[in-house]
Structure 1
Amino acid sequence: MSITVEKLKENFAKEGKTLAQWAREHGYAPRDVYLVVGGQRKGNYGKGFEIARKLGLK
């Protein structure tokens, strides 16, 4: 069950939380999270995959 990036951003906006806050709370660099959400890092393996799974994108 994966969600779209648009839905993810909508959920964060409803909660009043930023991707950077989420990244720090989960021990990731904000830049890594932005790369996954923006599509520059596909999230097929490694840290990118972990981030995508935790965000519900995979």
Structure 2
Amino acid sequence: MTKTPQQIKSDFDAKGIPVSSWADQNGFPRDAVYRVLNGFTPCKRGLPHRIAVALGIKPTAN
């Protein structure tokens, strides 16, 4: 099940997890994660797509 970026941000907030910490723990550049969560980057391919899948915004490819 996928979530919206707003749901992901709410989950991080509820758990007290900074987005930057999640980015560091998962090996993604912080700015790229923020761009995906805030809708500044299309998540069609490459790094933005991988971030969106890791966050649960997009389903994993079969």
Classify the TM-score, shorter chain: over 0.9
Shift of 1:42: 1.2
The aligned residue for residue 12 of structure 2 is: 12
The aligned residue for residue 3 of structure 1 is: 3
> RMSD over aligned Cα, in angstroms?
0.8
User: Pairwise mapping of residues 1-58 of structure 1 onto structure 2 (< 5 A)?
Assistant: 1-58=1-58
Q: State percent identity of aligned pairs.
A: 31
Q: Give ranges in structure 2 of 5+ residues lacking alignment.
A: none
Q: Give ranges in structure 1 of 5+ residues lacking alignment.
A: none
1:25-45 deviation line (CA, Å, top 9, x unaligned):
011110010011111111110
Shift of 1:2: 1.4
The normalised TM-score by structure 2 is: 0.87
Counterpart CA distance in 2 for 1:46 and 1:28 is 12
